[in-house]
Amino acid sequence: MIISMRLHATADEIDQVCERIKEFGYKVHSIVGEERVVIGVVGVGDVTACLESIQAMPGVESAVRISAPYKFVSKEFKPNHTRIRLNGIEIGGDDFCVMAGPCSVENEKQIMETAEGVAAAGAKILRGGAYKPRTSPYDFQGLGVEGLKLLAKAREATGLAVVTEVMSDGEVGLVAEYADIMQVGARNMQNFALLKALGGCGRPVLLKRGMSSTIKELLMSAEYITAHGNANVILCERGIRTFETATRNTCDLAAVPLLNELTHLPVIVDPSHATGKRSLVPPLSRAAAAIGADGLIVEVHPRPERAMSDGAQSLTLEGFREMMEQLRPCLDLWRQFRAPMNVVAVRQSIK
Amino acid sequence: MIISMRLHATADEIDQVCERIKEFGYKVHSIVGEERVVIGVVGVGDVTACLESIQAMPGVESAVRISAPYKFVSKEFKPNHTRIRLNGIEIGGDDFCVMAGPCSVENEKQIMETAEGVAAAGAKILRGGAYKPRTSPYDFQGLGVEGLKLLAKAREATGLAVVTEVMSDGEVGLVAEYADIMQVGARNMQNFALLKALGGCGRPVLLKRGMSSTIKELLMSAEYITAHGNANVILCERGIRTFETATRNTCDLAAVPLLNELTHLPVIVDPSHATGKRSLVPPLSRAAAAIGADGLIVEVHPRPERAMSDGAQSLTLEGFREMMEQLRPCLDLWRQFRAPMNVVAVRQSIK
Amino acid sequence: MIISMRLHATADEIDQVCERIKEFGYKVHSIVGEERVVIGVVGVGDVTACLESIQAMPGVESAVRISAPYKFVSKEFKPNHTRIRLNGIEIGGDDFCVMAGPCSVENEKQIMETAEGVAAAGAKILRGGAYKPRTSPYDFQGLGVEGLKLLAKAREATGLAVVTEVMSDGEVGLVAEYADIMQVGARNMQNFALLKALGGCGRPVLLKRGMSSTIKELLMSAEYITAHGNANVILCERGIRTFETATRNTCDLAAVPLLNELTHLPVIVDPSHATGKRSLVPPLSRAAAAIGADGLIVEVHPRPERAMSDGAQSLTLEGFREMMEQLRPCLDLWRQFRAPMNVVAVRQSIK
Amino acid sequence: MIISMRLHATADEIDQVCERIKEFGYKVHSIVGEERVVIGVVGVGDVTACLESIQAMPGVESAVRISAPYKFVSKEFKPNHTRIRLNGIEIGGDDFCVMAGPCSVENEKQIMETAEGVAAAGAKILRGGAYKPRTSPYDFQGLGVEGLKLLAKAREATGLAVVTEVMSDGEVGLVAEYADIMQVGARNMQNFALLKALGGCGRPVLLKRGMSSTIKELLMSAEYITAHGNANVILCERGIRTFETATRNTCDLAAVPLLNELTHLPVIVDPSHATGKRSLVPPLSRAAAAIGADGLIVEVHPRPERAMSDGAQSLTLEGFREMMEQLRPCLDLWRQFRAPMNVVAVRQSIK
């Protein structure tokens, strides 16, 4: 921690701050500058509590933490990239992993047709929403358990693993019965009750970045899941909300290599929600591979113009096949660039 | 709905769009411009489903809805401002309503001292968190039920009503046993499972705007609660996340009169989270009254430098007393400006 | 300056950083923490150059300046609020100062009619654009010199001072012949050639905050003008660009009291550009007075539906009169709250 | 244009809007919906003036243009990708074009050493600032004419073309004497006086996206240059300002394929300013190639820790060489994906 005192802070104010710091068990190093006093805090203790307290004291200009607020998810804690194994595949391993499927599970025909199509094109995991977070209470909210059962059926038919969203801590047990990977949607990235419940769910978790969440907050949410017992977290960049409205969100693709410097967790990209436009999905997917993401999650629908949600950003089965073919040469590159990732020294970090 | 076709859309593409629109039960009005065809859609039907479908069709440039996506919360549905009565007070009524108290309930002494102090200074409602949404899993998470009991005790001692946050749909019943008003935090504004559960909780709900939520989305979340049975929703502007980091958030104060044009629901302002700085709370509170808010929710702590959270933005009891005195002349103005609110014609709306 | 070294920074890297700091003439204080080394830098020197250099060195996690990067505009440099006197009025003084007029000067009838109307209603300064920054090259670009002459004519007829925008350093001399106050538009806030030229223009400058500029950057741009010889700068909050599109911009009203803590320069608010909606201008104007702004700049047009630009956010003459009447009781309050501003200790600052 | 009337708009208000539209020479198509009237406007006329007028009229909810506001830069106007030829190279052609060099020209040794190094590694164009836009008036402002002369000298020695920034319309002539490409910095993207002057400069212009500018605004600024006589504009995505502070800006990489759908102009990416971190530049460069950009502009300095600006984001000469080698396999891919760009039908557009 570094505390900057105000320009005209009194000796008394400075003393009180030092006293308070010591109450938390820390040691104090004061630096008397030309203009003001800066206090370095050294030791082990409850950083947040100390910060909160100091920030509220008279004469304090600012108090900032230097150490990262997360631990288990950091590259310092575990230098090797995490590999998550399920159904004979690996996320974060030696292959680029593509998850694909419709926004919502709508009926048996739709999900079976999609599952077969994306499997044939090379996807390893089937995505599909049974519980749908919709802005309007009047919009289709998903098939619920019925949707989960259809996903399980599609898994049986195709061998694809299944990833699907869970929206409430009360439904974690139910969804875990059917899903191979539990998805936390962007709107729930800081639903802490849900994150805690997922700590004990026994399944890998796909954690989507909140639309206005920083990279640090994303890592803190992953830390919640990990600290509550579940180390298998996959991070997902899906675009953030900015002033630009020409695309649905703004894809922060540079977050991928930055996350690779900060954490050992796998990182995938969702080019469908990031752009909201079908035509931008294939180029963004190539870029995601080139920048070193561990995989993709892509929306695909056999008849996008009949989709109950997100049709405009869904690829057709044919479009997905083409995209997967375009990706192939990128993946040779990907293997080449990815190789040194696990051994590279940690060279950069969130300021 | 208005659909714009692309510049080079074919006659066939246009026909297919018109056909699809009719399948939803709507009538079609084509306008053939110099450059492109625009299609007006008239009638009653499932707007979202139709929009989603059309947006995904070939030849379509854009498809936008014209009518508001919310109904019960709109001023068209109910022109008179909603007055929420509880404990002998009114929110949205003839008095400016101040809610005050600590970020977290920490112990009996702290909450009782604060409750007595804010009541003496003129607050009508006590705020205090028993369940705390914290970015880090290692930070103080609140006292839980114990905190709820302390709030109830403070209510008994002071007569203040109690507002406190609920973080999960599974805890709605428990929190409703103790709270007079159920608070939905900014991070949970689109926790739809929670919103639905609050539809049946039998208590007014204080709904905070998400930090990256639009005004339209805030109204849609209020519509969720209303559509699930609970019309007593209080909206709260608490600052949005922008590029500016000099304050904790950016207070969108103009949202207050805009909401007053769009909805009959009461709107209050949280100057503490909006700024994150104690010194900015009193001037922003005066501005909130001047712009026509129905009230405030303010963080107050007897010893901010000992607070377990949000000390830097908490007023002392003395600071709160001063602020309430400064507010007094503003409130005479407030009554004057507020008077015509219920009769004014609806003149403006989200584009 | 505070430099945080990386977790695994070597002794050699730390030494090199310390050496480099000393080359700039500073003294070094190292703090060896549990996890990493933090280096405090004390002394007088070229902070930016040193920062830039250190940030680029191996082993450095972050390097941040503690002292404010501006000097002349800071409250430390000059504790008393700046009063700018012209034409018998004062900005930053004991009266709330209202500037009003059309977006663009369109013709003599329009500007004379507006000038007389706003003067009668209590405005002290006439605004009007002769050179217009327009997003499209095909839109009306202003009357140029002809517009400046019409503004001068309106000044003669009404006694109002004139504020108008200058868009290029090459036009500063010309505009200064006609204008009483030189306006820098939001898009030019960091047009440094223009800012330098305004340093020698001999007129007060109204500096509008850029739509994505931080408060710190606004102060740095004011510092440019001041450092080049012109201390009479008026700051203007006119809304920033955020994700919210229901209003044209998001008015950061809390920036007003924050600026009052950081700088002695007067601060006014532009409720017209901040909202883009006529109906929101009067309530936001009341809030601006209540929060302690030094004045307003408001768009007024005799026939907004005939305006060549910004009609939707322009008040009619009648609307402006009503607004000024509504403001009157706020101004009594304003005087009361403003009084202590010049004597209050500097209590808060950008972190 | 599409005009939506308010819910309770009177017949009189609707008539007046229709009358006003006709005054502009347009035809009117009214659509009477269940809830409100929508008016379609067809014909040729001054869209902006009509929009501005209608938006200000009573009873109008919103008025939006359907046609794109730009013309010369649109893919409709010129379907083939623009190829800009200079010094025997092509931007927008069959090769990926890399521009590299220091942030600022500092002295002869630095610029000559850099020029030789980047030329040897495969760059075709030398970047370097002689006039520097700096947030602080106290920071190094560039060598001015002296810097331009050094750039010319480096061109002579290496055969590299030179791109450098021009900051004021008054300096366009001078800079054009030395530069092969005139750069408009992000802060000046809407400096319309500068854009107009560049219309007649006789050199290609590299137009950087403003840090809070939309894609549409970027295209409108390019339209300014084109409408004033200069069709050779290169667009540059360099990151936008968002709430995320872990990187200097947020690179909107999806803007590249979107721009390729909307305009025929070449688009390059600046990974240095987009991220602010040296280690993120190579992966982002690969992604830029994979997504279909026409090239890069990269900061390189022989001794970043001695750089007078932007050292933290500058590659060393050795780092640049490595990056160029990593890029090589990407460029084979690039040629493959780029091939169909000029013949592909225009399929998508800003909504």
Q: Is residue D72 part of a domain?
A: no
Q: Is A274 within 8 Å of D252 when comparing Cβ atoms?
A: no
Are C118 and C253 in the same domain? yes
First and final CA of chain C: distance in angstroms?
A: 13
Helix ranges (H only) for chain A are 11-23, 47-55, 108-121, 145-158, 172-178, 192-198, 215-227, 255-262, 271-275, 281-291, 317-338
Q: Is B34 within 8 Å of D44 when comparing Cβ atoms?
A: yes
CATH assignment of the domain containing B60: 3.30.70.1140
Q: Is A138 within 8 Å of B48 when comparing Cβ atoms?
A: yes
B347 interaction partners in chain D (CB closer than 8 Å)? 6
- B95 touches A: beta carbon within 8 Å: no
Measured distance CA(C44)–CA(D337) in Å, rounded? 55
Residue whose C-alpha is closest to residue C286's, from B142, D126, B257, D269: B257
Q: Is D244 within 8 Å of A243 when comparing Cβ atoms?
A: no
Backbone angles phi and psi of A295, in degrees to 5: 170, -170
Backbone angles phi and psi of C89, in degrees to 5: -120, 170
Which residues, other chains included, contact C317 with Cβ-Cβ below 8 Å and sequence gap of 6+? C113, C114, C117, C118, C121, C300, C302
Measured distance CA(B23)–CA(C45) in Å, rounded? 74
pTM of the model: 0.94
Residue whose C-alpha is closest to residue C129's, from C314, C351, C287, C260: C314
Q: Is D7 within 8 Å of B61 when comparing Cβ atoms?
A: no
Find the helix or strand (DSSP H, E) in which B255 lies.
helix B255-262
A242 interaction partners in chain D (CB closer than 8 Å)? 240, 242, 250, 252
Are D54 and D103 in the same domain? no
- Give the residue-averaged pLDDT of B172-178: 98
Q: Is C216 within 8 Å of B258 when comparing Cβ atoms?
A: no
pLDDT in tens, B119-159: 999 999 999 999 999 999 998 999 999 999 999 999 999 99
Q: Is the dihedral of CA D98, D104, D108, D110 positive or negative?
A: negative
Residue whose C-alpha is closest to residue C179's, from C199, C208, C150, C158: C150
Backbone angles phi and psi of A228, in degrees to 5: -95, 15
Q: Is residue B100 part of a domain?
A: yes
Whether the predicted pLDDT of B342 surpasses 60: no
Q: Identify whether the C-beta of residue D303 lies closer than 8 Å to the C-beta of residue D343.
A: no
How many Å lie between the alpha carbon of D232 and the closest alpha carbon of chain A?
Answer: 24
pLDDT at A350: 30
Task: Identify the residue whose tokens are 């399980």.
Answer: A152
Strand partners, D85: D90
> Which is higher by pLDDT, A278 or C341?
A278
How many Å lie between the alpha carbon of D90 and the closest alpha carbon of chain B?
Answer: 30
Are D38 and D97 in the same domain? no
Find the helix or strand (DSSP H, E) in which A39 lies.
strand A37-42
- D235 touches A: beta carbon within 8 Å: no
- B149-156: long-range contacts, CB 8 A cutoff, minimum separation 24: B149/B178, B150/B105, B150/B107, B150/B108, B150/B111, B151/B105, B151/B111, B151/B126, B151/B178, B151/B179, B152/B178, B153/B108, B153/B111, B153/B112, B154/B111, B154/B112, B154/B114, B154/B115, B154/B126, B154/B128, B155/B115, B155/B126, B155/B180
pLDDT in tens, D162-203: 999 999 999 999 999 999 999 999 999 999 999 999 999 999
Q: Is D42 within 8 Å of B62 when comparing Cβ atoms?
A: no
How many Å lie between the alpha carbon of B11 and the closest alpha carbon of chain D?
Answer: 16
DSSP per residue, B157-219:
HH--EEEEE---GGGHHHHHHH-SEEEE-GGGTT-HHHHHHHTTSSS-EEEEPPTT--HHHHH
Residue whose C-alpha is closest to residue B215's, from B266, B252, B244, B165: B252
Q: Is D348 within 8 Å of A279 when comparing Cβ atoms?
A: yes
Measured distance CA(A62)–CA(C114) in Å, rounded? 48
Measured distance CA(D212)–CA(D293) in Å, rounded? 21
Measured distance CA(A337)–CA(A329) in Å, rounded? 13
Closest-approach residue (CA) in chain D for C191: D188
pLDDT at C86: 93
Per-residue pLDDT of chain A (351 residues; tens, 9 = 90+): 889 998 889 999 999 999 999 999 999 988 888 778 989 888 888 888 898 889 999 999 888 888 888 999 999 899 999 999 998 899 999 999 999 999 999 999 999 999 999 999 999 999 999 999 999 999 899 999 999 999 999 999 999 999 999 999 999 999 999 999 999 999 999 999 999 999 999 999 999 999 999 999 999 999 999 999 999 999 999 999 999 999 999 999 999 999 999 999 999 999 999 999 999 999 999 999 999 999 999 999 999 999 988 889 999 999 999 999 999 988 988 888 775 554 343 333 332
Burial class (CB in 10 A: 0-12, 13-18, 19+), D265: buried
Are A235 and A193 in the same domain? yes
Task: Identify the residue whose tokens are 């200074």.
Answer: B121
Phi-psi label, residue A181: left if phi above 0, alpha if psi -120 to 50, beta otherwise: beta
Are C91 and C229 in the same domain? yes
pLDDT band at D339 (very low <50, low <70, confident <90, very high): low
Angle between helices A47-55 and A11-23 (to 10 degrees): 160
pLDDT band at C68 (very low <50, low <70, confident <90, very high): confident
Backbone angles phi and psi of D172, in degrees to 5: -60, -45
CB-defined contacts B:D, below 8 A: 75
**Proportion of chain C above pLDDT 70, given as a percent:** 96
Q: Is B251 within 8 Å of C246 when comparing Cβ atoms?
A: no
Q: Taking the CA of residue B266 as centre, how many other CA atoms within 13 Å lie in the half-sphere pointing to its CB?
A: 26
Q: What is the mean pLDDT of chain C?
A: 92
- C6 touches A: beta carbon within 8 Å: yes
Assign B113 to helix, strand or coil: helix
Q: Identify whether the C-beta of residue B1 lies closer than 8 Å to the C-beta of residue B66.
A: yes
Closest-approach residue (CA) in chain B for C289: B287
Chains that touch B (3 or more CB pairs under 8 A): A, C, D
CATH assignment of the domain containing A274: 3.20.20.70
- A278 touches C: beta carbon within 8 Å: no
How many Å lie between the alpha carbon of D169 and the closest alpha carbon of chain A?
Answer: 28
3-state secondary structure chain C: CEEEECCCCCHHHHHHHHHHHHHCCCEEEEEECCCCEEEEEECCCCHHHHHHHHHCCCCEEEEECCCCCCCCCECCCCCCCCCEEECCEEECCCCCEEEEECCECCCHHHHHHHHHHHHHHCCCEEECECCCCCCCCCCCCCCCHHHHHHHHHHHHHHCCEEEEECCCHHHHHHHHHHCCEEEECHHHCCCHHHHHHHCCCCCCEEEECCCCCCHHHHHHHHHHHHHCCCCCEEEEECCECCCCCCCCCECECCHHHHHHHHECCCEEECHHHHHCCHHHHHHHHHHHHHHCCCEEEEEECCCHHHCCCCHHHCECHHHHHHHHHHHHHHHHHHHHHHHHHHCCCCCCCCC
Are B55 and B155 in the same domain? no
D69 interaction partners in chain A (CB closer than 8 Å)? none
Are B49 and B162 in the same domain? no
Are C31 and C108 in the same domain? no
Q: Is A220 within 8 Å of B136 when comparing Cβ atoms?
A: yes
Q: Is residue D76 part of a domain?
A: no
Q: Is residue C31 part of a domain?
A: yes
Q: CB count, 10 Å around CB of D318? A: 12
Whether the predicted pLDDT of B350 surpasses 60: no
Whether the predicted pLDDT of B346 surpasses 80: no
Closest-approach residue (CA) in chain B for D349: B61
pLDDT at B87: 86
Q: Angle at the Cα of B99 (from B96 to B102), degrees rounded to 5?
A: 155
Boundaries of domain holding B141: 84-342
Measured distance CA(D264)–CA(C272) in Å, rounded? 37
Whether the predicted pLDDT of B344 surpasses 60: no
- D341 touches A: beta carbon within 8 Å: no
First and final CA of chain A: distance in angstroms?
A: 13
3-state secondary structure A219-268: HHHHHHHHHCCCCCEEEEECCECCCCCCCCCECECCHHHHHHHHECCCEE
pLDDT in tens, A183-220: 999 999 999 999 999 999 999 999 999 999 999 999 99
Which residues, other chains included, contact A19 with Cβ-Cβ below 8 Å and sequence gap of 6+? none
Q: Is the dihedral of CA D210, D215, D221, D226 positive or negative?
A: positive
- Give the residue-averaged pLDDT of C168-197: 97
Q: Is B8 within 8 Å of D346 when comparing Cβ atoms?
A: yes
Find the helix or strand (DSSP H, E) in which B27 lies.
strand B27-32
pLDDT band at D350 (very low <50, low <70, confident <90, very high): very low
pLDDT at A43: 85
Q: What is the mean pLDDT of chain B?
A: 92
pLDDT band at D317 (very low <50, low <70, confident <90, very high): very high
Measured distance CA(B266)–CA(B206) in Å, rounded? 10
Q: Identify whether the C-beta of residue C278 lies closer than 8 Å to the C-beta of residue C313.
A: yes
B254 interaction partners in chain C (CB closer than 8 Å)? 247, 250-251, 274-275, 280, 283-284
Q: Is residue A25 part of a domain?
A: yes
C66 interaction partners in chain A (CB closer than 8 Å)? 4, 33, 35-36, 38
ipTM confidence: 0.93
Q: Is C311 within 8 Å of D55 when comparing Cβ atoms?
A: yes
- Give the residue-averaged pLDDT of D241-270: 97
Are C34 and C120 in the same domain? no
Q: How far is CA C36 from CA A42, A45, D251, in A?
A: 10, 15, 31
D194 interaction partners in chain C (CB closer than 8 Å)? 168
Q: How many domains does chain A have?
A: 2
Q: Is D280 within 8 Å of A258 when comparing Cβ atoms?
A: yes
Structure tokens at A83: 């590999």
Q: Is residue C216 part of a domain?
A: yes
Measured distance CA(B113)–CA(B107) in Å, rounded? 10
Enumerate residues 313 to 332 of chain B having a beta carbon within 8 A of any beta carbon in chain C.
Answer: 326, 329-330, 332
Q: Angle at the Cα of D77 (from D75 to D78), degrees rounded to 5?
A: 65
Measured distance CA(D320)–CA(D298) in Å, rounded? 9
pLDDT band at D107 (very low <50, low <70, confident <90, very high): very high
Residue whose C-alpha is closest to residue C180's, from C160, C163, C157: C163
pLDDT at B35: 79
Find the helix or strand (DSSP H, E) in which B275 lies.
helix B271-275
Closest-approach residue (CA) in chain C for A42: C33
Q: Is residue C351 part of a domain?
A: no
Structure tokens at B222: 């209020």
Candidates D53, D171, D224; nearest CB to C305: D53
Candidates C69, C140, C312; nearest CB to D136: C69
Are D44 and D93 in the same domain? no
Q: CB count, 10 Å around CB of D44? A: 11
- B86 touches A: beta carbon within 8 Å: no
pLDDT in tens, D60-84: 988 888 888 899 999 989 999 999 9
pLDDT at A340: 53
Whether the predicted pLDDT of C340 surpasses 80: no
Backbone angles phi and psi of C125, in degrees to 5: -135, 140
Are D46 and D91 in the same domain? no
A336 interaction partners in chain D (CB closer than 8 Å)? 329
pLDDT band at D340 (very low <50, low <70, confident <90, very high): low
Q: Taking the CA of residue D131 as centre, how many other CA atoms within 13 Å lie in the half-sphere pointing to its CB?
A: 23
pLDDT band at C339 (very low <50, low <70, confident <90, very high): low
**Residue to test with chain D: of A258, A269, A313, most D Cβ within 10 A:** A258
Helix (H) and strand (E) counts for chain A?
A: 11, 14
Are D186 and D331 in the same domain? yes
pLDDT at A338: 76
- A349 touches C: beta carbon within 8 Å: yes
- Dihedral of the CA atoms A53, A58, A59, A60 (nearest 10)? 20
The least confident of C174-178, D131-135, D336-340 is D336-340
pLDDT band at C350 (very low <50, low <70, confident <90, very high): very low
pLDDT at B272: 98
Q: CB count, 10 Å around CB of A13? A: 17
- Give the residue-averaged pLDDT of C201-205: 97
Q: Is residue C56 part of a domain?
A: yes
pLDDT in tens, C79-132: 999 999 998 999 999 999 999 999 999 999 999 999 999 999 999 999 999 999
